[in-house]
Amino acid sequence: MSKLKALLLTEGYHGMISQVEGLAKALNADFQHKIVRLNWLWNYIPPKLSPVSSLILKDKQYIAENEKFDLIISCGRKSVIPSIFFKRKDKKIFTIHIQDPKVSFSNFDLIVAPEHDKLKGENIIASKGAIHYITKSEIEKAKPYLIDKIQNKKIVSLILGGPNKYYSFSNEELTKIFREVKSNFISHGYKAIIIPSMRTPKRIIDLAINEFLIDGFVVNSVDKQAYLSSLAIADCIVVTCDSTSMISEAATSVKPIFVAHMQPKRNNYRFKKFYQLFRELGVTKNLGEKVENWTYNSFNEAERIAAIINSRLKS
């Protein structure tokens, strides 16, 4: 049987890319990834009020006339309408949307949404946290990448996100997190590796360099191999609270994970449900709680969900 051919549609953010590529890889599909850009007016209008038309698209040629895809895997608000549009052009395309599309679920063959969103429907598959493209074997393969950068028996990795509509990442909040890492880990013999993400602004990286000049090593640019290596060599992992994707990815390491919380700018009830779920699964504790080793069952949601999707495709 030939490989499935998939078109991936996202807004280009790390968390979205990780989810669509993670699912495509788990399905063993050949894929192309396209970043969705809408004409300026439609950037501000929700999908349920947008026309299913190519008129809203800034880039018209997502699919060339002679291109055929078996699957479309979309993630994010801006990808909803393009996915529906291409499905209407070719009914044979099997469409999968990741996250709540905020339109009728019947527009998609399948919807994959976090368990804590509590979506209900025959075409809904619930995931424990965010699916992603990180695998245990990738983490182990990248292990040597940072070993020479930091020589210490005990290592803590701090994974940094960045400002979004829920968290401001003020210098005061970051300084508090850095000081908590020092108090809970550095003062007990750990050295720190600081890993930025695509959303981490330069001011935060500079602040981290200043704080951990002696006590650790700061990766000063987005570097996937450094990210994977930091998960492999760490004894404990601290992740800022703004990204369910990064926390879910860190859980692939099966290392103790501490969530660094910040004051939200708006109601973060969906985040709270996620934090509660991962705490109940024994994956996370809060930064500031007692530093100790614990274990939890490894789980790969992308592979589990891919198996369900394959069974649906066969039927």
Place of tokens 């007016």: 41
Which value, to the nearest 10 degrees, does the dihedral of the CA atoms of residues 184, 188, 194, 199 take?
A: -10
Q: What integer is the mean pLDDT of 266-285?
A: 94
Mean pLDDT of the chain: 93
Which of these, 271, 288, 20, 41, lies nearest to 180 by C-alpha position? Answer: 288
Please give the pLDDT value at position 152.
84
Name the pLDDT band for 64 (thresholds 50, 70, 90): low
Q: What integer is the mean pLDDT of 148-152?
A: 87
Q: What integer is the mean pLDDT of 14-23?
A: 93
- H-run or E-run covering 95: strand 94-98
pLDDT at 1 over 80: no
Please give the pLDDT value at position 129.
87
Q: What integer is the mean pLDDT of 154-166?
A: 96
**Are 263 and 172 a contacting pair, CB within 8 Å?**
no
Q: How far is the C-alpha of 87 from the C-alpha of 282, rounded, in Å?
A: 40
Convert the pLDDT of each residue in 200-254 to its tens digit: 999 999 999 999 999 999 999 999 999 999 999 999 999 999 999 999 999 999 9
Q: What integer is the mean pLDDT of 75-92?
A: 94
The domains found in the chain, sorted by start residue, are 5-134+302-314 (3.40.50), 136-286 (3.40.50.2000)
Q: Global pTM?
A: 0.89
- H-run or E-run covering 284: strand 284-286
Burial (CB count within 10 angstroms: exposed 0-12, middle 13-18, buried 19+), residue 172: exposed
Structure tokens at 284: 């996370």
Three-state secondary-structure class, residue 282: coil
Q: What integer is the mean pLDDT of 38-47?
A: 92
Report the percentage of the chain scoring pLDDT > 90: 85
Structure tokens at 121: 């429907």
Please give the pLDDT value at position 60.
66
